[in-house]
Amino acid sequence: MTLDKLNAVCDDCGGYENQPILQLFGDKCFRVVDGKATYGEFCVGDFAFPVDGHTCIGLNAEMNGGEITIFDNQTGVLSPSSELESGKLYARGVMIRIIYPTYDTNGETIELVNKSVKISLENTDTLTATEYPLHDLFTIFTNPKSNKAEDLINKIKIINTNLLYNVRVSALVIFGKSI
């Protein structure tokens, strides 16, 4: 992506014409860059994770409360000291991308500050969900060798609260067997 396109991402960043940008480079490193200067990096070139199964999701979340369940481990209520069912596949890792349209249903440009959805994370001990605002997400959580219920997120959902546009959700969910 060219620098002028990256700077255009930040039209609403408080008047900074050359706002530093977080960008993923071909060497598998995220870097905070400002022009040719690099201020920090996070590299994932040596990342590896055992995979017993996977699924890819690419769905639209309708406007005004539309939801997409990224995964649901269907644990039921478990105490933190509970053991997971041996040999069963559980979602253990996820990468999520929220893709926003350029224009809303009125044909107006959607400003960066208005591009937001919610992510809902449900725990395994009370099945209580907590929602957090989210613009975009790139995360990997891993727990391939644990049988403890407390080490597992039960369910993740993306909720589109926007009244004037749908969003596209793309996700890769990684499954690992309990031991």
Decide if 156 contacts 74 (C-beta within 8 A): no
- Choose the most confident range, by mean pLDDT, from 57-71, 77-91, 128-142: 57-71
Q: Decide which of 107 and 19 is more confident.
A: 107
pLDDT, average across residues 41-68: 90
User: What pLDDT, on a 0 to 100 scale, did the predictor assign at position 147?
Assistant: 86
Q: State the DSSP string of 39-84.
A: EEEEE-TT-----SEEEEEEEEE-TTTEEEEEEE----S--TTPBP
* Domains within the chain, CATH numbers bracketed: 3-43 (no CATH), 53-177 (2.60.120)
pTM beyond 0.85: no
Give me 158's structure tokens.
């993306």
Q: How far, in Å, CA of 74 to CA of 90, rounded?
A: 9
pLDDT, average across residues 10-31: 73
User: What pLDDT, on a 0 to 100 scale, did the predictor assign at position 143?
Assistant: 66
Decide if 171 contacts 89 (C-beta within 8 A): no
Q: How far, in Å, CA of 69 to CA of 31, rounded?
A: 30
Give whole-number Cα distances, 31 to 14, 38, 99, 123, in Å.
Answer: 21, 7, 21, 32
